[in-house]
Amino acid sequence: STRTDFPWSNSHHISGDLRTGIQTLKQATPDGVLLGSGKLATELDRLDLIDEYRFLVHPRIAGHGPSLYAGGLPSTRRLDLVSAKALRNGAIAVHYRRAG
């Protein structure tokens, strides 16, 4: 995106090389970086820059729409379960960390 103004707090504009920009941001924010864009998550995962994953699994099968890794990944990602919590609405909040 070419946007440089963010009316919400705790947002960062990264220009130039994505890998370098994200590594710098990760070092500057020891509590972690949270993102919600599937397209960005796919690119960061391809660059091996995601350490932990948090997903909400809803009790519905859409059958259409975007897929998180529609373009595929270069290799399988092995994950270790950190936590799982059933929510009142039937969804499950899961937290995984990269294995290894």
User: Environment class of residue 88 by beta-carbon count within 10 Å: exposed (0-12), middle (13-18) or buried (19+)?
Assistant: exposed
Tens digits of per-residue pLDDT, 43-73? 888 888 889 999 999 999 888 887 777 777 7
Q: Residue 95: which pLDDT band, with cuts at 50, 70 and 90?
A: very high
Amino acid at 51: D
What fold does the segment set 36-98 form as a domain?
Dihydrofolate Reductase, subunit A (3.40.430)
Looking at residue 1, its pLDDT comes to: 55
Which pTM does this prediction carry?
0.75
Length of the chain: 100
Whether residue 10 is predicted with pLDDT greater than 80 in this model: the reply is: no
- Where along the chain do its domains lie? 36-98
Mean pLDDT for all residues in the chain: 85
Report residue 76 as tokens: 């399988």
pLDDT for the residue 83: 98
Q: Do 97 and 79 contact (CB within 8 A), yes or no?
A: yes
In terms of pLDDT, which residue wins out, 99 or 3?
99
Residue 80, pLDDT > 90, answer yes
pLDDT of residue 82: 98
